[in-house]
Each structure stands twice: as C-alpha cells, then as structure tokens.
Amino acid sequence: MKKSVLSVLAASVAVSLTACGAGPKQADVASSSPSSSPSPSADPKTAAGGEKKKVEINYWYSWGDKIGENNENLVKKFNESQDEVVVKAHFQGTYDEQHSKAQAAFAAGNAPEVWQNEIASVGVFAKAGMTEDLTPFVKRDNVDMNDFIPGLMGNSYVDDKLYGLPYLRSTPLLYLNKTMLKEAGLDPAGPKNWTEFEEYARKLTVKDKRVGITLPVDIWFYEAFIAQSGGKMISDDGKKAEFSAEPGIEALKFWLKLKEEGVMKIPTTDDAGNQAKIDFQNQRSGMLFSSTADLTKQMLVAKESGFELGTTFMPANKSYGVPTGGANLVMSAKLPKEKQEAAWKFIKWMTSTEQTIYASTFTGYLPSRISAVNSEDMKKLYAEKPLFKVAVDQLEYARPRPMLKAYPEIAKNLKDEISRAVVDSSVTAEKAIAGAGEKADKLLNK
C-alpha cells in the first residue's frame, strides 16, 4: 500500500460513525464476471508426521459487553466446528478505532485477515485496495445472495463488486419507558409521528426531575430525521449535499424547538451518547434513540431499574425512515492463498443462517438472512419477546448510508455546525445547515 493512499484514507476515516450508495441487486452477483477466480479450497500445510497443520488467521471486532461476548462465543464455536482453521479474536474498540488500527496494520504489513468494516466506510477501504472482492468466492461456492435481506445490502457493493457480507447490522429504534408513559397517561405503544413525539416529550417532562428524551448530536439519528422528511444526505451523483435543503433544515429546527422548550436535552460532549443512555437508565428521561444492537442491554437495564421497556419505529414525518448501521465482514486484500481460503471459510460460516440466528438472539442485532427471520427459532423468539421483531419490521423503511470518501469529514463538519446551533441561540438552523452544506459541496467536488 502506497503511503499516499494511506494518507488519503486517514483523512477519510478520521470521524467515528455510529453506524452507506447502493449497489446491484443480490441476484447480480452470480452473473458478475470476476476479475480473478479463487482457486479451489487450498489444503493447509502438512506438519511433520503427515498431520495437517491448521491455518491461523486473526479476526478484529468492535464493541464490548454483550456484543463482545457474541463475537468471542462465535469464534470459539467456529474453532470447535472444524480442524482446518484457527481464528484468533481481537477486540479493537469502536469502529473508528478499529479502522485506524487496520490502516496502520496495512502500512506495517500485518493486517488482520478478517475484520469488521463499519458500513459507511466500506467504499473507502475497498477503493483504497485494502479489502478483497468477495464476488468470485460467492460465485464459486454458490452462496444464495437472495437470502440476504435486501435492505441490508446497499453498503456491501462498491463499483458492482461485493466487498463485504452483512454481519452485525442495525437500525436506530425509539426505546420507551412504558411504565413512565402509562403514568403520564400516554399510549405505551409510543408515538407514531413527529407531532405525537412532541406531545410525548412534553408530557413526560417534569421540571428539575426529567426530560422527555436526551438526544445526542449523532449524524446517524439526523440521517433518520431527514429520511422521515423525504430528503437525503447526498445527491445521487455524489456531487451535492442535499441535507442543506428543506428536509435537513426542518429536522434541526424540530430538535432546537424541543430543546428550547426544555422537553429535549441535547448534550454536545464527546460522551453524549453514553449520557443519553444513563439518563434513560436512571429514569431522567422517558425515551431514548439507540441502535437495535442495544436491545438485550436495555432489557437488562429496564429489569434492574424496575421499569417496563418498549421499542417502536422512529416516528414518521412525511413517512417512516431510518438508515441502517453496524458492520460488514470484510477480507483483507492480497492475502496468500491459504490465508485467503481460511478467511473466506470463516466469513461464510459467520454469516450463515445458524450464526445469524445466534447473533441476533444474543445481542438484538438484526438477522441479516431471510431464512433466519423465517426460522422456527426466530419465530419463537419474536412470539416470546416481541421487542426483537420491531427492528426487522422497520427495515421496510431503511436505506443505506453514503459511502463516499468525503462523507466522514462531511459528517464531522455537520455535527460541529449542529452542535454550534444547540449551544448558541444566535446560530439558526438555516445558518448551521447552510454552513455545513457549503463545506460538503467543496469536499464532494475536489
């Protein structure tokens, strides 16, 4: 990897993204003409005595708690399921931290064979030549790409080639303290639209005790509000910031209105996301926007804190709408054949129906395969714990995230401008969004 390419990449992934342009339909993969076809599965090297020596590969993952446990558990299961490959799992912090470490590892020539690539950055790493095109492997092994949920595939393709398979994928949800809602005389099913959301926030707020919701300045959530208003973040040709149009202004105006009224708290510090979760846990807020990946954690929090938990779609404006989030599993580029085959064996196993069911049940992340959703195990889970089904149903309104090289910097500038409007009442929504839009247009047309 040339130093100049890595320098460009560093600027592109400098911003942490909580959670992506669309690619071809899944069926297109089988008909794609791979630039190079992988050889048939290579036999591992033979050790002394004629026994096959296991191929060792490294797997990097992000996030701890239940998510970390899930990764470690699955790696253990994989290693015990066969005798050809040994996977070593390594926790790497947040997605942004993992991306920075991956970049450094490539520069040093010791990149992990398999790692989690946050979906908005899939295109950045693929175009930098750091991840492998999986199309030939999928074609060779007849992987049924039509079994992957279409709403999760938009951030898997770059220039019509498949660079990642959905693994731990998510959408934001609206979490509810149903006990608090009932006490306030509100429907515990939750608000269906922005008007009702405003009403809920107002009725849940008790001065000096709690607010309706604590909302961090998170671009993932802002993307959702724009989608709900019929807008988009970036134009289809990738040349213009469309968030600076009316839907983007309307979203920020709505946030600022609720903040000024005192029914929505908007922290702007680096730990704002954790602060929102702590407020919800301690019942200093009645609602929370967070990833479906937090579901099992929030279920434990509600039980320990003594309230009934609910989840529902993020509220609609003109329509429902949410971005997807999470990560795809990717293979590092230019691996030796035996490492390449070992990495593919692991990726294929991790994204199979059985492991999809396990990961979704254990964490609350979305099942990425239709066969998993339709399995008896998931049907039983949804019947017993309906909260797990909400994110699956909301996928009907999901969209991919922008994957442009400039998007991380655009997102950072946008977050800074929104934060400025939150803390300084003289900065209007129009001024903040226009400023971020101008910077974005320059970056998109470099």
Q: How far is CA 66 from CA 298, 300, 325, 355, in A?
A: 11, 11, 17, 15
- pLDDT level of residue 360 (50, 70, 90 thresholds): very high
Q: Count the neighbouring beta carbons within 10 Å of the beta carbon of residue 39.
A: 11
Sequence-separated (6 or more) residues with CB below 8 Å from residue 442? none
Q: For residue 207, how many other CB atoms are within 10 A of its CB?
A: 7
> Around Cβ 153, how many Cβ atoms within 10 Å?
25
| Type of residue at 183 | E
Does pLDDT of 38 surpass 80? no
Task: Name the average pLDDT for the chain.
Answer: 89
- Distant-in-sequence, close-in-space partners of 236: CB < 8 Å, separation ≥ 6: none
User: What global pTM score does this model have?
Assistant: 0.84
Collapsed DSSP state (helix, strand, coil) of residue 168: strand
- Say which residue, 14 or 396, is predicted with more confidence: 396
Which residues have a Cβ under 8 Å from the Cβ of 274 and sit 6 or more positions away? none
Contacts of 324 (CB under 8 A, 6+ apart): 19, 20, 119, 151, 152, 154, 155, 169, 170, 171, 395, 398, 399, 400, 401
Task: Give the burial class of 425: count Cβ atoms within 10 A of its Cβ; 0-12 exposed, 13-18 middle, 19 or more buried.
Answer: exposed
Tokens representing 145? Answer: 């790409």
Q: How far is CA 23 from CA 242, 249, 312, 328, 358, in A?
A: 20, 29, 29, 14, 27
Euclidean distance between CA atoms 150 and 157, whole angstroms: 12
User: CA-to-CA distance for 207 and 199, rounded, in angstroms?
Assistant: 16
pLDDT at residue 13 greater than cutoff 70: no
Q: Mark residue 106 as left, alpha or beta (left: phi above 0; alpha: psi -120 to 50; beta: remaining).
A: alpha
Q: How far is CA 306 from the centre of its chain?
A: 29
CB atoms within 10 A of CB 20: 27
Find the distance separating the first CA and the last CA of the chain, reported in whole Å. 23
**Residue corresponding to tokens 């329509």:** 319
pLDDT digits (tens, 9 = 90+) for 82-103: 999 999 999 999 998 999 999 9
337 Cβ contact partners less than 8 Å away, ≥ 6 residues apart: 38, 39, 42
Q: Could you give the domains of the chain?
A: 3-170+324-399 (3.40.190.10), 172-323+406-444 (3.40.190.10)
**Beta strand 172-177 pairing with 309-312:** antiparallel
One-letter amino acid at 80 equals E
User: To the nearest whole percent, how much of the chain has pLDDT over 90?
Assistant: 85
User: How do residues 323-355 score in pLDDT, each as one tens digit?
Assistant: 999 999 999 999 999 999 999 999 999 999 999
- Asked whether residue 4 carries a pLDDT value surpassing 80, the answer given is no
Residue 51 pLDDT class (50, 70, 90 cuts): low
Confidence of residue 236 (pLDDT cuts 50, 70, 90): very high
Sign, CA torsion 257/261/267/272: negative
Measured CA to CA in angstroms, residue 376 lies from 334, 353, 357, 383 at distances of: 40, 12, 10, 10
Separation CA 89–CA 350 (nearest Å): 13
> Mean of the pLDDT values across residues 126-131?
95
Q: How far apart are CA 309 and CA 113, in angstroms?
A: 39
Q: Which amino acid is at 2?
A: K
Paired residues of 330 in beta bridges:
115
Interhelix angle for 65-81 vs 295-305, to 10°?
A: 130
DSSP reduced 3-state for 152: helix
Query: Which range (47-51, 121-125, 275-279, 373-377) has the least confidence?
Result: 47-51
**Quick one: pLDDT at residue 20?**
36
Say if residues 428 and 260 touch (Cβ distance below 8 Å): no
Q: What is the DSSP string of 9-23?
A: HHHHT-S--------
